[in-house]
Amino acid sequence: MPNSYKNAKADLTTTGVTTLYTCPSATTALVKSILVSEDTGNADTITVTITDADAAVFSLFKVTAIAANTTVELLTEPLVVQENEILKVTEATADRLHVVASLLEIN
């Protein structure tokens, strides 16, 4: 299967942990961008983690502030996500944030 560009999107409607992207088997992904948009006129925070194949959780962005009515790019460099690893996002207040990750899956 050839390499392919993809995006993963989440409308965060709860304060629970939401899976943004799971890297498929036999694949490595290069995440080029993680955009977070606040669209209700109220500032909020987001936490982003990566869970490895052994279920260990690593914090990438911990309670990062997102100002009202803004879009923030979280990454300054590409993020490598390996086979079966999971990117997860959590917002402090429900129904305020949208998240879009742009990535390249390498098979």
Q: Which residues pair with 3 in a beta bridge?
A: none
Q: What is the pLDDT of residues 20-54, one digit of tens each?
A: 999 999 999 999 999 999 999 999 999 999 999 99
Q: What is the pLDDT of residues 50-76, one digit of tens each?
A: 999 999 999 999 999 999 999 999 999
**The pTM is what?**
0.94
